Chain A
Amino acid sequence: MPSATAPPDAGSTACVLDPEGIGALVRELRARGRTVIGPTERDGAIVLAELESADELPYGWGVELEGGYYRIKRRTDAAAFAHSAGPQSWKNFLHPERVRQWTADRAPDGGMTVRAERPEPTSFAFLGVRPCDLRAIQIQDRVMTGGRHRDDAYEERRTGAFLIVVECTEPGATCFCVSMGTGPAAQPGYDLALTEVVDGTGHRFLARAGTEEGADILAGLPRRPADDLTRTRAREDVEAAAGRMGRTMPEVDLRALLAGTLEAERWNDVAARCLTCGNCTMACPTCFCTTTEDVTDLTGDHAERWRRWESCYDLDFTHLPGGSVRSSGRSRYRQWLTHKLGTWWDQFDSSGCVGCGRCIVWCPVAIDITEEAHALHQESLDRQAGPKDETP
């Protein structure tokens, strides 16, 4: 497993693209019938949307992030990928918010015909996947297709998707991918990896392929061999990014920490602030929970099964005939955090957190997952140290 600060692949396939090369990349992907999704500036945010050309990339835009705070701002350079996580993630495309799973018709004799929904084959190309988000995709892969039952529709969207990772050189104040071991350098799983370099020598991208298809596409683009200066700058920028994380997680076994703090006082503290709005779950690139909706048309003889995102903060999420299991906000926040950092390991053999910081940014009351983890750690240390001296 490469370390978080591993240098970009300096192998012989590495080459350099100019911004025109990125334009050619988008054209080539579209020519191959792919729907290219990438970041673009819209309504005061960097959003993920279909790109018709690379001109729509957010050249010259950066972001300012804090707990409950997101602003885009003009940069002094023209970098296209100098922004960190926005309100969406790639799950919006791979695990869409609302999908129809099947339709059914009832015959007059009470018989039933059920047809599985076959979504139109979509061939995505994701341009500008951050390393943390690449890990998030891989985590959702395990949930949706790694178990005994596979989600066929997810698998179809996912296996058809072409992933272009762009390494992180401009982490946000809410980023902590280094703590989670997911970035800022690209780790395996991409088709193409890019590192954006902007300096006196110009604006360019160090590119290398991770798959044959990636190499094939790269071979058709206007490019030049990777020069030492670009390689060095790319490596140094990614290494520097690793040192500029805005947040950290406590350096402990988070799974053990969460398993041992189910009755911590801190849950009461955070519950007093949490609105249980579920924004963190919607923004999180790994949160996968869904609910089902069964609907019928007016005749009552045509029915459909829809699946849509659901949040563990919803009171009904744990509904049983006698009431909800997790009726308090405290228990619902605890569920989210312990699942994300702890029990995800038991269920899917990895952490559910990639350190992207979205849950911090999009929390309306600025609850900070890293701050909560540090507080739980401190509380467990205090508890181990024994009761405090009562004397003043």
Chain B
Amino acid sequence: MTAVPLPYRVVANRPESTDTRTIELRPAGEALPAFAPGQFAMLYAFGAGEIPVSVAGLRDGTLTHTIRGVGAVSRALCAVRPGTQVGVRGPFGTGWDLPSAAGRDLLVVAGGIGLAPLRPLVQAAASAHNRLNVLIGARTPEDLLYRDELDGWGRPYCGVTVDRAGPGWTGHVGVVTTLLDRAAFTPHETTAFICGPEIMIRATARELLHRGVPAQHIRVSLERNMHCATGHCGHCQLGPLLLCRDGPVVGYDHAEPLLAVREL
């Protein structure tokens, strides 16, 4: 019964930045089926409501979610105390589908909180033999997620750029696509995984197409309003797609014409 949440116990809640926290959940009783990188869960904060949140980590049967407190429910989820419980439904949606990129160069491009759904992909890809490039854009150095982990991420390349540098920032300043010149990939043999604000997705995908990455090998994770996650409520439609079912990860060959239509 995918409409009813299962109780999960909060085992950790740590800050990532001023408004973003990472929580770790373990089943209080019965466990949900295994999640794949790119899929999402519906997280229910008692009494506040439920929102879709991608999985940001999958190790050891623990569900990890990175949540930005921008509304009533997400703020409630950011405030959960270890030991208490939240409701979880899932897994829902399409994943990044790393196996289908076997033998290809990997290009992971993240903007802002969009790094969260890509984290389990990067972790899974670390054991693959592909060239793995990780390009990360953040608003400011303080907004950068998973700062302590990034060192080991890219092989051969992991780059971070910020929109606004502060004192002490010695890294790159500029949009995330400017890092593409530093990544090592052969465009037509590359699979790209992009998550971030839709404008960032479009700009990045356009640049990759220009460089010769095939549209069907550009996978983007899209966001729309979601209530049921089971394909029954109609909210997450994007033209022919029900994003809870046919997404959130969609090939850019499908996504491009849809994203081009205003207010679709």
Contacts and interface: CB of A to CB of B under 8 A. Distances in A.
Physical contact A–B (CB less than 8 Å): yes
A317 interface: yes
Contact of B3 (A106, A110, A151): A151
Given A112-B86, A320-B225, A148 B231 contact: yes
A160 interface: no
B5 A114 contact: yes
A292 B223 CA distance: 18
Contact of B1 (A116, A263, A300, A305): A116
Contacts, number: 130
Interface in B103-157: none
B46 A112 contact: yes
B143 to A, nearest CB: 16
B182 interface: no
Contacts of A320: 223-225
Contacts of A346: 239-241
A288 B232 contact: yes
Nearest to B242: A347
A112 B245 CA distance: 28
Contact of B234 (A151, A312, A319): A312
Looking at chain B, what size class is its interface with the partner chain? 35 or more
Contacts of A112: 7, 28, 46, 85-87
Interface stretch (B47-55, B188-196, B203-211): B47-55
B216 interface: no
A292 B227 contact: yes
B50 A294 contact: yes
Interface in B54-100: 70-71, 81, 83-87
B81 A110 contact: yes
B233 A101 contact: no
A321 B231 contact: no
Contacts of B239: 338, 343, 346
Nearest to A153: B3
A318 B83 contact: no
Contacts of A152: 1, 3
A149 B83 CA distance: 31
A152 B2 CA distance: 10
B228 A290 contact: yes
B6 interface: yes
Given A262-B264, A318-B225, A319-B225, A292 B50 contact: yes
B232 A114 contact: no
B235 interface: yes
Interface stretch (A55-63, A163-171, A323-331): A323-331
A340 B230 CA distance: 20
A99 to B, nearest CB: 10
A296 interface: yes
Interface of chain B: mostly helix, strand, loop or mixed: loop
Contact of A262 (B46, B237, B261): B261
A198 interface: no
Interface in A290-333: 290-292, 294, 296, 300, 303, 305, 307, 310, 312, 317-321, 325-328, 330-331
Nearest to A147: B231
A296 B240 CA distance: 36
A290 B263 CA distance: 20
A125 to B, nearest CB: 25
Contact of B240 (A319, A334, A343): A343
A151 B235 contact: no
Given A112-B85, A291-B227, A343 B50 contact: no
A291 B86 CA distance: 21
B47 A144 contact: no
A289 B226 CA distance: 11
B4 interface: yes
Contacts of B81: 110
Interface string A139-159: 000011001110110000000
Contacts of B47: 106, 294, 296, 300, 303
Nearest to B82: A110
Nearest to B48: A294
A235 interface: no
Nearest to A149: B230
Contacts of B87: 104, 112, 114
Interface in A103-157: 104, 106, 109-114, 116, 143-144, 147-149, 151-152
A205 B6 CA distance: 52
A339 interface: yes
A53 interface: no
Nearest to A317: B235
A339 B234 CA distance: 10
21 contacts: A112-B28, A112-B46, A116-B1, A147-B245, A149-B230, A262-B261, A262-B264, A263-B261, A288-B234, A290-B234, A292-B49, A292-B228, A294-B49, A303-B46, A312-B234, A335-B264, A338-B239, A342-B240, A343-B239, A343-B240, A347-B242
Pairs of residues from A and B, 6 with the lowest C-beta to C-beta distance, nearest first: A110-B84, A346-B240, A289-B234, A331-B263, A149-B230, A296-B47
Interface of B: 1-7, 28, 44, 46-50, 70-71, 81, 83-87, 223-225, 227-228, 230-235, 237, 239-242, 245, 261-264
